[in-house]
Amino acid sequence: MTEAHLTDAEPPKPVSPFELFFDLVFVFSLTRVTSLVLGHPDVAGVGRGLLVLALLWWAWGAYAWLTNAVNIDTASSRAVILGAMAAMLIVAVAVPQASGRNALPFALGYFVVRLLHLVLFSVAGGANRAAILRLAPGNLAASVLLIIGVFTPTAVQMGLWALAVMIDYGTPLITGVGGFTVHAGHFFERHTLFMIIALGESVIAIGAGVLHSSASITPIVAGSIVLALAAISGLWWSYFDWEAGVTERVLSSSMGPRRAHLARDLFSYLHLPLVAGVVFAAVGVESVTSHPMDPLHGVHALGLGGGVGIFLLGLSAVCGRRGHRPRVDHLIGGLLSLATIPASTVLPGLLTLAFLVVILLFIAFVDRAHGRSEVGERTEPVGVPVPR
């Protein structure tokens, strides 16, 4: 099988305005996942939210691989992608009731999104066509399971959803992703822009919390708004100030099949905890800004501390997959964030949020020190630890 061997001199491939236009539907889909969890604030609701988020992330990631490798400037290509946008918008609208009255639109819309992806990829030809055809059986089987789940009891449906996620995420591990063309700069930029989208959804949650409470903006409410923005800024800082740049250099310095497998692991797999952390933190942030002095309960407590914790531990996993030693501050910060979950059920939400901001500010300080002392960090092939 022919592999795509790219060189350091590969021409730049910036993210196009059309790709950003496509991503707009995923802005909406993320807000709908938050609505799903808030509408079902129990263990089952969190489980459904995680499964839906995993499905949406995988669908978006599939198109990120597509537009990275395939020319989408033709009228026919754009028509197919616009069709996928329409189907994904139906999926997003259906998300809060994806396991209930809107189960069929959700499942059929998702199937269309995945099918159009395979159609456009398969007609592109070359090594990418051979690579996507290896993944096609798993992609279609996972989508069909969602349709079957529409006609089953809820418990069985959730089992089929979980199986669909396992098939989606497991197929590339079995078949590999050798043969896919990966333009490192474009691939990296596309995923970092999605991180901005996810963080933007959290900013929306700040205002939504205040609006839902119908409260006046008192000094305490204003303080909760400022702290919530500080927490989101801390998530941004911990990702973009240092870690994102190192990840880009590692991806760019790899070649051929190694680059494709790094792209799969670092982005398709390990960016899911980052996105999930941001989405679930938004659930907690909305509760804090709506009732700053009340303790958090249930999914709100789990979302705030759990979201930040998952995000930081996800960054640690990204670091390890790059071949570097995971950062101690990420590990400790992640564990301390998770430890706030039980404490937040008795402390005012504002105090819990303040504690999380302190954790993120400390990591930001470490990032600055990291940047000053290791500007020239090496990017050895994966598996070779970087001396500290």
pLDDT of residue 198: 86
244-292 pLDDT per residue, tens: 999 999 999 998 889 999 999 999 999 999 999 998 998 899 889 988 9
Q: Rounded to an integer, what distance in angstroms lies between the CA atom of residue 248 and that of residue 62?
A: 19
The answer to whether residue 374 scores a pLDDT higher than 60 is no
Contact indicator for 175, 254 with CB cutoff of 8 Å: no
Q: Rounded to an integer, what distance in angstroms lies between the CA atom of residue 312 and that of residue 331?
A: 7
68-122 pLDDT per residue, tens: 888 888 888 888 899 999 999 999 999 988 888 999 999 999 999 999 998 887 7
Q: Rounded to an integer, what distance in angstroms lies between the CA atom of residue 146 and that of residue 113?
A: 13
Q: Rounded to an integer, what distance in angstroms lies between the CA atom of residue 86 and that of residue 340?
A: 40
Q: Rounded to an integer, what distance in angstroms lies between the CA atom of residue 168 and that of residue 58?
A: 8
Percent of the chain past pLDDT 90, that is, above it, reads 53
Q: Cα 185 to chain center, whole Å?
A: 18
Among 38-42, 89-93, 123-127, which is the least confidently predicted range? 123-127
Contact indicator for 289, 225 with CB cutoff of 8 Å: yes
C-alpha distances in Å from residue 370, one per residue of 308, 327, 376, 387: 21, 10, 11, 13
Closest of 212, 84, 37, 66 to residue 131, by C-alpha: 66
Among 99-113, 162-176, 198-212, 232-246, which is the least confidently predicted range? 198-212
Q: H or E element: which one contains 240?
A: helix 219-240
Residue 175 main-chain phi, psi, to 5 deg: -85, -25
The reported pTM is 0.88
> pLDDT-based confidence at 125, cuts 50/70/90?
low
Report, as an integer, the average pLDDT of 147-172: 94
Highest mean pLDDT among 60-74, 160-174, 286-300, 373-387: 160-174
Contact indicator for 64, 190 with CB cutoff of 8 Å: yes
Closest of 34, 37, 39, 62 to residue 48, by C-alpha: 37
Average pLDDT, rounded, for the chain: 86
**The residue count for the chain:** 388
pLDDT of residue 375: 46
